[in-house]
Amino acid sequence: MCLAIPGKVLEIYDEDGLKMGRIDYAGTVNKACLAYVPEIEPGQYTIVHAGFAISIIDEEEAQKTYEVWEELVQAAAEEGTDIFGMPLEKDSDTPKGGGKP
Amino acid sequence: MKYLDEYRNPDIARRMLEEIRNVTTKPWVIMEICGGQTHSIIKNGIDRLLPKEIELVHGPGCPVCVTPLEQIDKALEIAGRKDVIFTSFGDMLRVPGSDKDLFMVKSQGGDVRVVYSPLDAVKIAQDNPDKQVVFFAVGFETTAPNNAMSVWQAHQQGVKNFSILVSHVLVPPAMEALLSSSQNRVQGYLAAGHVCTIMGWEEYEPIAERFKVPIVVTGFEPLDILEGILMTVKQLEAGRAEVENQYTRVVRREGNRPAQDLVAKVFQVSNRKWRGIGEIPASGFSLRPKFALHDAEQVFNVGDLKVDEPSECISGIVLQGLKKPYECPAFGKQCTPENPLGATMVSTEGACSAYYAYSRHDLPVDG
Ligand code: SF4
């Protein structure tokens, strides 16, 4: 029920006095009410729950998280094995999607 | 998809599991509150990848599951009326009431419609001035601002034929009720990330302090959940009991103020019954008297309906993390998603349904 998914604001408009936006969820575009994120701008990412944007994604915080996680994996790569004692593959120290967002 | 795929990376997941193994020296019981997290944990097999010292128990965080039978029966009663268009999120349609569900009302000719946003229901009311349009306003703090906005819009635009049947519940009172129970086993909480997106985490600080439990605000993707568990275990091992935030890209300490403001304008805190658990004081919302015109219980005069719950379903015990779904004698036998006896089998976020969908019919390997 509390499911909320990330999407990118394409366009902002007004409907019945409410701030609304067209949101792109990986290719599927749908509208959402933006009244609870009044400062949002096109191009920003938001989390949408049941037709309402409830938070603007903080890109800086997201980036910080990836960096910490990448360090974790780097440290393991230096040790040379994963938790199952298997040697790590060469390309696993640049995780998919873990790079620049 | 940006902001999703990065949080499903198996290499990082493996490293995080290793970290969890490294820091764990004692057995710990951690509850994830939110049904969305339960679903993600079971789907990704996270509970089985954790060291055997760590037991995850599933909390009451599925609004569909905890909506009391009498609210379902009120919905059924209203939806069956001739001049009514009854609107709801899709997952409420199959929740069993005393003798039927909303799908049956629909198949018997009731005008029951699934909407994606409560604002769609207001639109339906504007388009159908000769009908009463009712929205089934179920949910936690995450959904309350949306439902509040529908009432506020109807009020502002003079849409008099729109009302909501309120069954709103709040998470912190339930957390406290669980911790206060003599049967409590929970030693740490993963707090529900989207509830905190709205409410922030200030109200969790006194709970962490009073009950000496770490509370970690956690997101929904596999890496979010693993990191939330890691942060909780680190606190438990160090004897700390603080509120921490794992879901930093989305949740801020003060939450979403504009959303909180509208919720406070439209709703007031009230006692609520939780299905399978019973009444918890100050654990939900009702509409403020000013909005009586938009309160379906008053419009349709169903406020007095009271019903008792049947006894064969143990979902109340499951929702408190005291038993696992496979310990229910009806699980997978008389009770399946096609023929659910309890709401925890209906919603995909209910523990029973998650265990059924991912074939958790037996005791896990590690016992
Ligand atoms: S398996 Fe069915 S009957 Fe048993 S607790 Fe779950 S919902 Fe209730």
Shortest Cα–Cα distance, B273 to chain A (Å):
18
What confidence score (pLDDT) does residue B121 get? 97
**Which residues of B are less than 8 Å from A18 in CB distance?**
119, 149, 153
- Is pLDDT above 50 for B45? yes
Q: What is the pLDDT of residue B141?
A: 95
Mean pLDDT of chain B: 91
Question: Considering only CA atoms, which of B82, B65, B125, B96 is closest in space to residue B300?
Answer: B82
Task: Look at residue B6 in the predicted model and tell me its pLDDT.
Answer: 79
Q: Which atom of ligand 1 is nearest to the CA of B342?
A: 7
The CB of B95 under 6 Å from ligand 1? The reply is no
Q: What is the mean pLDDT of residues B318-341?
A: 88
Task: Please determine, for residue B360, whether its predicted confidence score (pLDDT) is greater than 80.
Answer: no
Architecture of domain B64-170+255-299: 3-Layer(aba) Sandwich (3.40)
For residues B218 and B190, the answer to whether their CB atoms sit within 8 Å is: yes
Gyration radius from chain B CA atoms: 21
Q: From CA B33, how far away is CA B61, in angstroms rounded?
A: 5
A50/B62 touch (CB, cutoff 8 Å), yes or no: no
Q: Mutate which of B1, B250, B348 to disrupt the A interface (most A C-beta within 10 Å)?
A: B250
Q: B1 to chain A: which residues are within 8 Å by CB? A: 6, 25-26
Q: How far apart are the first and last CA of chain A?
A: 28
Q: How confident is residue A82, by pLDDT bands cut at 50, 70 and 90?
A: low
Return the pLDDT at A95: 44
Residue having the nearest C-alpha atom to atom 7 of ligand 1: B342
Q: Considering only CB atoms, which chain B residues are within 8 Å of A54?
A: 142, 145, 194, 197-198, 256, 259
For residue B221, the CA-to-ligand 1 centroid distance in Å is: 26
The per-residue pLDDT for B94 is: 86
Contact B95, B122 (CB under 8 A): no
Please report, for chain B, the start and end positions of each structural domain, with discontinuous segments joined by +. Answer: 64-170+255-299
